Structure 1
């Protein structure tokens, strides 16, 4: 069984945890459908920059 030699320092612990923070995504409102969505992502109805995306249109059939 692995046993540590010494207690990790506060700096080492902080460096390990530096990427554990919660990120709040930037939200946008689509021009055409007026839906709120994460920036640079399609809306739930399949719109991106005011246009219906082809990929979503094909998958929804």
Structure 2
């Protein structure tokens, strides 16, 4: 089992952990429907970059 050679201070520990914070997903507003969606993803209506790319009308 690995054992540290020297104790790391609270400051060094916290500086290492400063990059561990989680961020929420980046959202954009669709120009066509005004709906919020994740960037670079198709909206629930099937639009991507203002164009209809998926037909979501038929649920077969």
TM-score clears 0.5:
yes
TM-score by length of 1: 0.56
Aligned length: 56
Per-residue CA shift, 1:3-61, capped at 9, x if unaligned? 112221123212321221121233222122332112343323442221134xxx4xxxx
**Separation of aligned partners in 2, 1:16 and 1:45:** 42
Aligned-pair RMSD on alpha carbons? 2.7
TM-score by length of 2: 0.56
| Larger helix share, 1 or 2 | 1
Gaps of 5+ in 1: none
Query: Which segments of structure 1 move beyond 4 Å, counting only runs of 4 or more?
Result: none
